[in-house]
Amino acid sequence: MDIVAKIKAKATEYRQYTAECLAEMVKIPSVSCEEEAVVLKIKELLENAGVRNVRIDGLGNLIARVGNGPKILAIDAHIDTVDTGDESQWDTPPFSGLIKDGWVHGRGTVDQEGGAASMIAAARILTEMNYDGDYSVYFTFTVMEEDCDGMCWEYLINEENLKPDFAVITEPTNLGLYRGHRGRMEMELWYKGLSAHGSAPERGRNVIYSGSKVALKIEELNERLKTDEFLGKGTIAPTLFRTVSPSLCAIPDQARMHIDRRLTWGETKESAVGELEAICGDDVTIEVPEYDRPGYKGTVYKIEKYFPTWKIEENHPLVQAGKKTYKSLFNETPRIDKWTFSTNGVSICGRHKIPCIGFGPGNEVYAHAPNEKVPVEHLEKAAAFYALLPFILAADETG
């Protein structure tokens, strides 16, 4: 039996196992900075699958390695989730992990513990095949992505010295092959006014008026931002406006406006800040905030909330290897596309220029939504893809 047939057969054999691994994860609430219990469960699942090189780093990421080749392929899933929202909108309890009618149900099944479950199955397949190819395959189960995408990989690269040659992000792609997405950044606009009694507003300088004028200019700015043929248009939107005043009978003299900025190709932190500076007055200070929340191990790893745009070209060897892997397994050409949202790729490829592709189970329309669910078929196919890719990469490189 050749490698492709063997991997397909094993992925099919472990179809229910992969779904059950996911169900076990979903049953454990794991919002950002509270992932310890699910990390320990994944560690147990990997060790029970025979994976010997498993460890937890100083931030709380779980790192498993199969093989000992000179090159590094990293396959990544973040295992934190957003919260449930209004649970009355869920048809099944969000932490049920219910497996029914070919689907696994619950929070995190799509975003993105489904990818993690397929990675566990792939690690088991490679371990049982005694994989000893050209790649050390690192399966990374990362934390705090929902809070601060990419920060976990800043830690892995800068502190753990894990620097892959290639990476696969297992966020949901509906089994498409993705090669980039827009970047993003957060900005805070701080307004300084002058308070006065509400009965004599002319004596003060009302920050609500200042903020409103800037908000209307931001609306106009959004319409003229750059666009990219592949990634689409940059966007900017105020998402919070909060004022401070001595009382409800006083003119507010302080305000904060939070800005969500999505960056297309060619847009940078400097260009985005410059555009705001051009439309804000002297009474506004612009800041790019830092993320400084401690993880479940108590570690604080500060990072500026700027997450660079990234893409690789369709003719890149990694994209071509992904296409060949997909076609070898499923006898068809994959859909090549991009994410609408942001991923850990902002660090891996955006900051560190390590080539990335995306391939993951589930449809992103279920991400952060009630009634999240993933097809078991997707889990099986993703496991086969992750297990076969290092073989295809090595074969392509040797000709």
Q: Where are the alpha helices (DSSP H) in 159-302?
A: 207-223, 269-279
pLDDT of residue 64: 98
Radius of gyration for the alpha carbons in the chain, expressed in angstroms and rounded:
23
pLDDT of residue 398: 75
220 is catalytic: no
Tokens of 332: 């068809």
pTM assigned to the model: 0.95
- What is d(CA 164, CA 345) in angstroms, rounded to the nearest whole number? 13
- Asked if 32 and 144 touch (Cβ cutoff 8 Å), the reply is yes
In 10 A of CB 281, how many CB atoms? 9
**Matching residue, tokens 């319409």:** 223
- What is d(CA 162, CA 124) in angstroms, rounded to the nearest whole number? 22
Domain residue ranges of the chain, discontinuous segments joined by +: 3-181+309-398, 183-291
145 is catalytic: yes
pLDDT of residue 224: 96
Residue 250 exposed, middle or buried by CB count within 10 Å (0-12, 13-18, 19+): middle
pLDDT of residue 399: 65
Catalytic residue among 57, 76, 145, 372: 145
Residue 274 exposed, middle or buried by CB count within 10 Å (0-12, 13-18, 19+): exposed
Q: What angle do CA 51, 318, 8 make, to 5 degrees?
A: 50
pLDDT of residue 16: 98
| CATH number attached to the domain at 183-291 | 3.30.70.360
Q: Which helix (H) or strand (E) holds 7?
A: helix 3-13
Per-residue pLDDT tens listing for the chain (399 residues): 599 999 999 999 999 999 999 999 999 999 999 999 999 999 999 999 999 999 999 999 999 999 999 999 999 999 999 999 999 999 999 999 999 999 999 999 999 999 999 999 999 999 999 999 999 999 999 999 999 999 999 999 999 999 999 999 999 999 999 999 999 999 999 999 999 999 999 999 999 999 999 999 999 999 999 999 999 999 999 999 999 999 999 999 999 999 999 999 999 999 999 999 999 988 899 999 999 999 999 999 999 999 999 999 999 999 999 999 999 999 999 999 999 999 999 999 999 999 999 999 999 999 999 999 999 999 999 999 999 999 999 998 776
Catalytic residue among 24, 80, 149, 171: 80
Tokens of 11: 């992925």
| CATH number attached to the domain at 3-181+309-398 | 3.40.630.10
